[in-house]
Amino acid sequence: MPEANVRHRPAVAMALSLLFAGLGQLYNRRYVKGILFIIIEAAFLMTFYNFLNIGLWGLVTLGEIPMLDHSIFLLIQGLVSVIIIVFAAALHIANIIDARNDARRRQRGEPFPSLWESCRNAWDKGFPYIFVTPGLVMLLFIVVLPLLFMVSLAFTDYNLYHSPPRHLLNWVGFENFKNLVSIPIWKSTFFSVLAWTIVWTVVATTMQIALGLFLALLVNDPRIKFKRFIRTVLILPWAVPAFVTILVFAAMFNDKFGAINREVLSLFGVSVPWMTDPFWTKVALILIQTWLGFPFVFALFTGVLQSISRDWYEAADIDGATRWQKFRSITLPHVLYATAPLLIMQYAGNFNNFNIIYLFNDGGPAVRGQNAGGTDILISWVYDLTFTTNNYNMAAAISLIIGLIVSGFAIYQFRRTRSFKEEGNI
Amino acid sequence: MRKALSLFLMAVLLIGVLGACGPKRDVQQPKGNDQKTAEQDKKPEKLVVWVNDDEKQKQALKDIFQKYTEKTGIKIEMVAVSMLDQTKKLALDGPAGKGPDVFYQPHDRIGDIVLQGLADPVDLGDAKGEYSPTAINAVTYDGKTYGVPMVVETYGVFYNKNLVPEAPKTMDDLMKIAKEKTNAAKDQYGFLMEATNFYFVYPFFAGYGGYVFKNENGKYDTSDIGLANDGAVKGAELVQSWFKNGYIPKEITGDIMNGLFTKGNVAVAITGPWNIASYKEALGDKLATAPLPVLDNGEHPKSFVGVKTWMLSAYSQNKEWAVDFMKFVTNEENSLHYYEVAGEMPANQKALTNEKITNDPLIAGFAEQIQYGEPMPNVPEMSQVWEPMGNALQFIAKGDNPKAVLGEAVKTIQDKIAASGAGK
């Protein structure tokens, strides 16, 4: 049993631990622990020193000799190094805190738990965290690393004329973002594209949700027969891969040769320029997206509708509520409460719905004096600008902006939906 | 809080110190030149070759590679990578030491490839004369030869002998056919082509004096764009007249044209040899090909020629043998074998003028058109041209003034080239 020792200073233990893991523990006379920590830190440094050295050097310089240094590899190695260092720093801080706690105990003369005891203690308390950790590490490399890479590219000059291995990349700071709002070829089109992107997102998604909800309510009505059959039919559009559907529709909407003008509208003596007039192309796109998107919403609502208790409607019937009142006060809040997060994802998905725009008409038809096509949304416009011109830096910069818009919107909405509040706080 | 701050500062300091260190290495050039040649004369055990991922092409190449192994004892490792993905993959695999010695690319990518430093120039020596001059021009970039041409392709006239007994020789012939045979209400057309696709429309611009980039002594001047000059405008007016007269519907796409042609509703179509198989299946011996009809100024329309070419990886350790291998694959005998199995026109001049090809009624027209054609520009700036020109052709099809539309398109191309970071 150690005695109280007022001359033992926690600050010294912390300083020593900061210098090298385990030294503080040695000062605390916890020799086994201290030596263990020293071995771990030494092993870490020996294993990773070279990797981290090159990684950090590469992150700062992005390489010095063309053809020998590859900026992209160096950038990724640098980001990995940063992640490893953050991990190591967290462990190092834990080591310092441990040294301080032990030093205080020694100061007060409290007994120490044995190494074995403290291990068991940590296992008991930290059990969930220990099992979450491997997943977290995976997540870090699968999700966070590519994101960091993309964000980093937005601040480099990575384009066709600065492509490794022949050329090295350079950090250019915010120049890409400055160019975006100052170079006419990008600036002039940005706002018209953004406006259509918003209209497209709101109108197409709302229509698909409204149609899905309407059909789900109809099919859920007890008086409807052959429910299974009807449901199967309504889910069918979902069963065909979207890109096949879109390509088939693109052929059907052709102004002159498509089935819609030729077989359907010709009955009324009308011919609509679906592919050549921007307005009608937009209408066609919204119609197709409604058709593609409603089955999912329909399936979702059908499921949720089953879970609404019959008692509520019976109670409402006794109170003499009308059909509309029952819908307004029972069905709608219930359904929206349960599905809001998924519906928000639908909006976010359509904001970036590259497939349909690209496959239907490739953002066309062309509009004179405008760089983007008449129906290009932000993401398809970026695709065009970057993959025809190989401006990876600009792609990263614009993607960053799109990402900020979408995530800002999503976070705001998530925080306001009840689904994400704790239960009982409704 | 202050502790956290000081820790953070420590970390920053550490990063700064390490960042300043960097790898230790000799400042000397990594590879000594004398050593290199000595090493390269040594015969390698094997060469790695990336080929396009296409069954027929792989089949043809397998035989040829086998012959090379028999001749020299060098094993050829054939790796199938889609032609469009090869440069992306090479940019990563090459530096990692997993790349090929030889890869396969369309010539219009050469500018990009050289900019990225992925390929080395090839010294063809005396063998240069064996290839068609158009093909050699196509693979010449900055005055150096990059790659050994394997296949040439261009587009020409397909005609249906049921509807027209002879190919149109001049533009007047073609217009006459269009006038007589077109009945849009019944889906009957005398003459169809993708007239809103710049790739197919270019010959009519170039035949009157239009050009994409001015070419002087094998170098393209990308600041001199000739797509709005008088010749180009004249060509655009010709194209516009087809839409105005109702010969070609402005909704035309490649799929629609192919569908109508294979149904037998089209007398003459302008498209490329990649359609031979499906057209032949539909029309049998009624199908024939010819070069593009002569313009009213007596010039042949200058179609874009594409050249698929073997290229030498900058990361190859066996450069001399790789070049020897490329020459072997593209010699007359092997080119003809490749033509017979894979059905693509050889870039080898002797093979191209061989009877086997000139007597083939479906290939002969294209083989002749090659000599009037000009290679697509291989500078990287070319990728900025397609979209503005495609849009311009759509406006022309709608009836807008060609001169104004082309002027705008050229302005857009210039802006795009500037915005892409060229010259910085």
Report if residue B1 sits inside a domain: no
* Same-domain status, B255 and B312: no
pLDDT in tens, A317-330: 999 989 899 999 99
Q: What is the mean pLDDT of chain B?
A: 88
Whether the CB of B30 is below 8 Å from some CB of chain A: the reply is yes
Q: Cβ of B95 and A70 within 8 Å?
A: yes
Interatomic CA distance for residues A348 and A360, integer angstroms: 20
Residue window 133-192, chain B: list those with CB within 8 Å of chain A.
Answer: none
Give me the residues of A, 15-44, that contact B with CB < 8 A.
18
Tell me what pLDDT residue B333 has: 93
State how far the Cα of B393 lies from the Cα of B193, in Å rounded to an integer.
13
**Residue A57 C-alpha, separation from nearest chain B C-alpha, in angstroms:** 4
CA distances B401 to B242, B295, B398, B408, Å, are 15, 22, 9, 11
Among A81-90, B347-356, B414-423, the range scoring the smallest mean pLDDT is: B414-423
CB contacts < 8 A, A to B, total: 127
Range of the domain at B393: 155-305+377-420
B251 and A275: CB-CB below 8 Å? Answer: yes
Interface-testing mutation among B6, B15, B92, B384, with chain A (most A C-beta atoms within 10 A): B15
**Nearest 5°: phi and psi at B311?**
-125, 155
Give the CA angle between residues A291, A292, A297 to the nearest 5°: 90
Co-location of B163 and B148 in the same domain? no
The predicted pLDDT at position A166 comes to 82
pLDDT of residue B404: 94
Q: Please report, in angstroms and rounded to a whole number, the separation of the first and last CA atoms in chain A.
A: 55
Angle subtended at Cα B361 by Cα B358 and Cα B363, rounded to the nearest 5 degrees = 65
Q: Nearest chain B Cα to A169, which residue?
A: B116
Q: Is residue B35 part of a domain?
A: no
Residues B65 and B140 in one domain: yes
Please list, residue by residue across B245-275, b when 16 or more beta carbons sit within 10 angstroms of its beta carbon and e when fewer do.
eebbbbbbbeebbbbbbbeebbbbbbbbbeb
Query: What pLDDT sits at residue A270?
Result: 85
pLDDT score for A57:
87
C-alpha distance from B388 to closest chain A C-alpha (Å): 8
Test B390 with A390 for CB contact under 8 angstroms.
no
| B380 touches A: beta carbon within 8 Å | yes
Is B11–A85 a contact, with Cβ atoms under 8 angstroms apart? yes
Residues 6+ apart with CB under 8 A from A182: none
B120 and B217 co-located in one domain: no
Cα torsion B81, B85, B91, B92: sign: negative
- The one-character DSSP state at B153 is E
The Cα of B181 is separated from the nearest Cα of chain A by a number of Å equal to 19
B129 in any annotated domain: yes
pLDDT band at A307 (very low <50, low <70, confident <90, very high): confident
Mark whether B93 and B129 lie in a shared domain. yes
> For chain A, what is the radius of gyration of the CA atoms?
31
Smallest CA–CA distance from A11 into chain B, residue = B3
Mean pLDDT, rounded, for A99-104: 88
Residue of chain B minimizing CA distance to A389: B420
B393 domain-assigned: yes
Q: Residue A186 and residue B419: Cβ atoms within 8 Å?
A: yes
Structure confidence at residue A421 as a pLDDT band (50, 70, 90) = low
Confidence band of B18 (pLDDT split at 50, 70, 90): low
Statement: residue B403 has pLDDT above 90: yes
Q: Give me the interface pTM, i.e. the ipTM.
A: 0.70
Q: How many domains does chain B have?
A: 2
Q: What is the DSSP letter of B346?
A: B
Strand partners, B157: B270, B290
What local confidence, expressed as pLDDT, does residue B38 receive?
47
pLDDT surpasses 90 at B208: yes
Q: Residues B98, B226: one domain?
A: no
Tell me the DSSP string of A334-400: HHHHHHHHHHHHHHHHHHT-HHHHHHHHTT-SB-TT-SSBTT--HHHHHHHHHHHHT-HHHHHHHHH
Q: Which of B115, B255, B383 sits opposite A161 (nearest CB)?
A: B115
Instruction: For residue B121, name the pLDDT band (cuts at 50, 70, 90).
Output: very high
Q: How many Cα atoms are found within 13 Å in the side-chain-facing hemisphere of B140?
A: 19
In a domain, B22, yes or no: no
Where residue B36 falls among pLDDT bands split at 50, 70, 90? very low
Q: Are residues B72 and B194 in the same domain?
A: no
**How far is it, in rounded angstroms, from Cα B250 to Cα A254?**
11
The model's pLDDT over A349-374, given as tens digits with 9 standing for 90+, comes to 899 899 999 999 888 788 887 778 88
Nearest chain A CA: its distance from B160 CA (Å): 22
Do residue B173 and residue B243 come from a single domain?
A: yes
Spatial distance between the Cα atoms of B96 and B93, rounded to a whole number of angstroms: 5
Q: Please tell me the distance in Å from A129's CA to the nearest CA on chain B.
A: 23
Please say if the pLDDT value at position B104 is more than 90. yes
| Residue A138 to residue A118: CA distance in whole angstroms | 28
Q: Least CA distance to B385: which residue of chain A? A: A388
pLDDT at B313 over 90: yes
Asked if residue A275 lies in contact with residue A365, where contact means CB atoms within 8 angstroms, the answer is yes
Q: What is the pTM of this model?
A: 0.78
Would you say residue A49 has pLDDT above 60?
yes
Q: Is the CB of B250 inside 8 Å of chain A's CB atoms?
A: yes
DSSP β-ladder status, B102-106 and B119-120: unpaired
Query: For the segment A277-301, what is each residue's pLDDT rounded down to a tens digit?
Result: 899 999 999 999 999 999 999 999 9
Query: Is residue B342 included in any domain, yes or no?
Result: yes
Q: Is position B126 within any domain? A: yes
Strands (E), B202-353: 211-216, 219-226, 266-271, 287-290, 304-313
Where does B274-353 show beta strands of DSSP type E? 287-290, 304-313
Instruction: Look at residue A420 in the predicted model and tell me its pLDDT.
Output: 60
Of the candidate ranges A155-159, A195-199, B38-42, B137-141, the one whose mean pLDDT is the lowest: B38-42
Classify the phi-psi angles of B264: left when phi > 0, otherwise alpha if psi is within -120 to 50, otherwise beta: left
Report whether pLDDT(A377) > 50: yes
Torsion angle of the four alpha carbons B386, B392, B398, B400, in this order, in degrees rounded to the nearest 10: -170
How many CA within 13 A on the CB side of residue B348? 23
| pLDDT of B33 | 44
Cβ-based neighbour number of residue B184 at 10 Å: 12
Residue B31 has pLDDT above 50, yes or no: no
Q: Looking at the complex, does the CB of residue A67 fall below 8 Å from at least one CB of chain B?
A: yes
Which chain A residues contact residue B11 at CB under 8 A?
85, 89
Closest chain B residue to the Cα of A69, Cα to Cα: B95
B291 & B325 share domain: no
Is residue A175 less than 8 Å (CB to CB) from chain B?
no
- List B residues 314-353 in contact with A (Cβ-Cβ < 8 A): 314
- CA-CA distance, B5 to B17, in Å (whole number)? 18
Does the distance separating the beta carbons of A70 and B420 come in below 8 Å? Answer: no
Q: Which residue of B has its CA nearest to A89?
A: B11
pLDDT at B42 over 90: no
**B316 shares a domain with B300:** no
pLDDT the model gives residue B32? 42
Q: Are residues B198 and B290 in the same domain?
A: yes
Q: What's the average model confidence in pLDDT over A116-128?
A: 84
Q: Which residues pair with B294 in a beta bridge?
A: B170
Q: Any chain A CB within 8 A of the CB of B23?
A: yes
**Nearest Cα to B115, choosing from A104, A67, A223?**
A67
Q: Which residue of B has its CA nearest to A61?
A: B19
Q: What is the pLDDT of residue B16?
A: 59
Per-residue pLDDT averaged across A127-140, rounded? 88
Q: Scan residues 222-281 of A and list those with Cβ closer than 8 Å to B.
A: 251, 254-257, 275-276
What CATH number has the domain bearing residue B384?
3.40.190.10
Query: What was the pLDDT predicted at B34?
Result: 43
B19, part of any domain: no
Residues B237 and B330 in one domain: no
